[in-house]
Amino acid sequence: MVTVNKNYLKLPGSYLFSNIAKKVAAYQEAHPQDKIIRLGIGDVTQPLAPAIIESLHKAVDEMAHGETFHGYAPDLGYEFLRNTIAENDYKSRGCDIAPDEIFVSDGAKSDSGNIQEIFGLDNKVAVCDPVYPVYVDTNVMAGRTGEYNPSRENFDGMIYMPCREENGFLPEFPKEDPDLIYLCFPNNPTGSAIRKEQLQEWVDYANKIGAVIIYDAAYEAYITEDDVPHSIYECSGAKTCAIEIRSFSKNAGFTGVRLGFTVVPKDLVRDGVSLHSLWARRHGTKFNGAPYIVQRAGEAVYSPEGKAQLKEQVAYYMRNAKTIYEGLKKAGYSVSGGVNAPYIWLKTPDKMTSWEFFDYLLEKAKVVGTPGSGFGAHGEGFFRLTAFGTYENTVEAIERIARL
């Protein structure tokens, strides 16, 4: 008899953003005349930069001729891209990361979901609360947690590190030592950032207890302050305790193109085994590489033209962040984030729950956001708005909210 992976049955409801999309679609169907503004999922709205489009066209043309055609990509990614990443994202920041420690992939979501596969099922996992749901859900699917506990609104067997307003939404060190620690900075969903000396404390802690940090730096392009690290490898000792995941979605608008990478340093050894070789084995077996044309597009992100164009694109979204932050503050909301991240985190008014505020905003302002409780129990009473909309929609959404 066929049986199923019962761990999936522990997951309540559907994936957060699928759930929201269904709710919004149902509302739109019932109110076809309403102009809904979507500031929920962090999906970009600006077209790909000209340097990227040019590179894509050129690569597509290469695929039309036998001499320049490309089939399967190399397991770890094309050298032209890995060399460029090592130079621009790491060497230029004083981080000693070699091209062959970089694994090119089809995006940070898949990598952050798949990385847990190289670890034993008996590892204790620590996550921030609130947290990007992929880290939790994929560990639940793998069987690394107990059941969902409806009264605590989280999973037995998972270590939750509360991120509270009074701590600037930074996680508290766990009371029980974990084996795997997921950190995401600049943070999704709270938009908070971690200073270099604060991140150094996490690196020192992980090295001391022998844990591995899985560091999601998908939003690093939005950092505006000098003492906020772009990579965990800016901290000393990180190469013996940290894996870093990066995305091209938010810094270069690749949400529909798909490209990302993961850094697994060769110095990272646990249980007598190199995690680099395990991830290489997994990558080689389960992945056939991001498409050549997409990797060429990724290379263009680092060209002088690409860099200049993307600086403007990031500034465009950060103007939205400022518009949301200042507009909501003026309207009397308590807000944070939006300075080193494209997310604004606000307190729901009048003690509304996050989902009550979601419904209220959708019905009264026709604006979609993301309920904080969807990211974890400590997100209850908060709400996330994204700066990835168009400027015009962002201005209109904030005007509508301010009028409520």
Residues binding ligand MLT (CB under 6 A): 41-43, 109, 132, 188
SS (H, E, C) 113-130: HHHHHHCCCCCCEEEEEC
Closest distance to ligand MLT from the beta carbon of 236 (Å): 30
Closest distance to ligand MLT from the beta carbon of 3 (Å): 30
Closest distance to ligand MLT from the beta carbon of 43 (Å): 6
| Phi, psi for 131 (deg, rounded to 5) | -150, 155
d(CA 205, CA 209) in angstroms, rounded, equals 6
Q: Among candidates 387, 374, 321, 317, which has minimal Cα distance to 348?
A: 374
Closest distance to ligand MLT from the beta carbon of 332 (Å): 26
Bond preceding residue 74 cis, omega within 30 of 0: no
Comparing CB distances to ligand MLT, the nearer of 241 and 245 is: 245
Comparing CB distances to ligand MLT, the nearer of 130 and 265 is: 130
Closest distance to ligand MLT from the beta carbon of 362 (Å): 17
Comparing CB distances to ligand MLT, the nearer of 188 and 348 is: 188
Strand residues in 108-251 grouped as ranges (E): 125-129, 148-149, 154-155, 159-162, 180-184, 212-216, 242-247
Q: Among candidates 219, 222, 253, which has minimal Cα distance to 47?
A: 253
Comparing CB distances to ligand MLT, the nearer of 327 and 369 is: 369
Residue of this chain nearest to ligand MLT (CB atom): 42
d(CA 134, CA 247) in angstroms, rounded, equals 15
Comparing CB distances to ligand MLT, the nearer of 200 and 336 is: 336
Closest distance to ligand MLT from the beta carbon of 189 (Å): 6
Comparing CB distances to ligand MLT, the nearer of 250 and 270 is: 250
Q: Distance between terminal CA atoms of the chain?
A: 57
